[in-house]
Amino acid sequence: MADVNNPALAALSAALAPELELAQVRVRRVAEGFELRHVSDREAEPESLHRVDFPELRTLASHTAAGEFRPIKAAPNLRAGWLCRVASAAELELALNQLYPGALADWFAAQQPVPPVTHYRAFTARQTGMYRITAMLADAPAAQVIRACCDERFCLKRRLWSVDGLTVDAPEAKSLIPCLEPCAVMMEFARKAVRIEQEEVKPTLTLAPSEITTLLAALETAVARPPASQREADVAAADNPRRLQLLRLKLQDFVPIAAKSGGE
């Protein structure tokens, strides 16, 4: 590893003892350099995996196995079945940047005494144009929006930024890749949440506790099994999984009431 003169890469090299997992990618030191593969292929024979060169990893990471575009590269839907070998630490950095752009730099930055984190309030305060309204969410609804958007079913980055009343992700949560500030999908989702809050006509609906339980179960099923054609960044779609998850979180506020009332 004499060719390591990048501090982030040197730190990663030290952490590779002899392997580590970066979100859904397992990196292992081998005699000829490093080997990368999907974590679900940990036990697979190398011959059974499709060999790719590191420049091909960007294409591999751009779409799911079902062919859908992956707007968030840290979403837990990286396709499996491939193996990539690189000869040097410099190539390892290039390979990781194809799979998880910026992850190595962010991982290293997060280990500094004062990580460069931008919290929701500071981030939204400097938004202009269509995203200015994201600053209008009060702390409690903003926390719900963040919890829904950054749920581990949608993104494996460990969130280090927050809003008052919401804790950051625990060190062991999700993956080694930190999230240092709200991403573009988060901003789009927050904007949609504000627009939903601003809808003037809000019909009232009275539900029995058991009906709340049924709705929660239906939402859970829908979040867990989105259609293959679902575009995850399309928050305008009523059945977008993040929107379903946000509704789940709102309904869960009523669960204690449902329990007290004898609901299932």
Shortest spacing between CB 150 and ligand SF4, in angstroms: 3
Please identify, using beta-carbon distances, which residue of 143 and 149 lies nearer to ligand SF4: 149
21 - beta bridge partners? 26
DSSP β-bridge partners for residue 158? 178
203: cis peptide before it, omega within 30°?
A: no
Indicate whether 61 belongs to the interface with ligand SF4 (CB under 6 A).
Answer: no
CA angle 209, 210, 216 (to 5 degrees): 95
Do residues 180 and 109 lie in contact, with contact meaning Cβ atoms separated by under 8 Å? Answer: yes
166-198 burial: b if 16+ Cβ within 10 Å, else e: beebeeeebbbbbbbbbbebbbbbbbbbbeeee
**Whole-number minimum distance, CB 19 to ligand SF4, in Å?**
24
Q: Which residues pair with 50 in a beta bridge?
A: 82
Element (H, E) at 190: helix 184-198
Instruction: Select 86 or 235, whichever has its Cβ closest to ligand SF4.
Output: 235
**DSSP tally for the chain: helices H, then strands E:** 10, 7
State yes or no: residue 243 binds ligand SF4 (CB under 6 A): no
Q: Of 8-16, 78-86, 151-159, 198-206, which segment contacts ligand SF4 by CB under 6 A?
A: 151-159
Contact between 149 and ligand SF4 by CB under 6 A: the answer reads: yes
For the CB of residue 26, give the shortest distance to ligand SF4 in the complex, in Å.
21
Among 37, 38, 85, 157, binds ligand SF4 (CB under 6 A): 157
Q: Which of 238, 237, 244 is nearest to 223 (CA)?
A: 244
Nearer to ligand SF4, 55 or 116 (CB): 116
**137 lies in the site for ligand SF4, by CB under 6 A:** no
Residue 151 Cβ vs ligand SF4, minimum distance, rounded to whole Å: 8
Size of the site for ligand SF4 (CB under 6 A): 12
By beta-carbon proximity to ligand SF4, the closer residue of 185 and 193 is 185
What mask of x and - would describe binding to ligand SF4 in positions 161 to 200, judged by CB under 6 A?
A: ------------------x--xx-xx--------------
Query: Judged by CB under 6 A, does residue 155 bind ligand SF4?
Result: yes
Is residue 159 involved in binding ligand SF4 (CB under 6 A)? yes
* Beta strand segments in the chain, E: 19-22, 25-30, 33-38, 50-51, 82-86, 158-159, 178-179
Residues in the site for ligand SF4, rule: CB under 6 A? 72, 74, 149-150, 155, 157, 159, 179, 182-183, 185-186
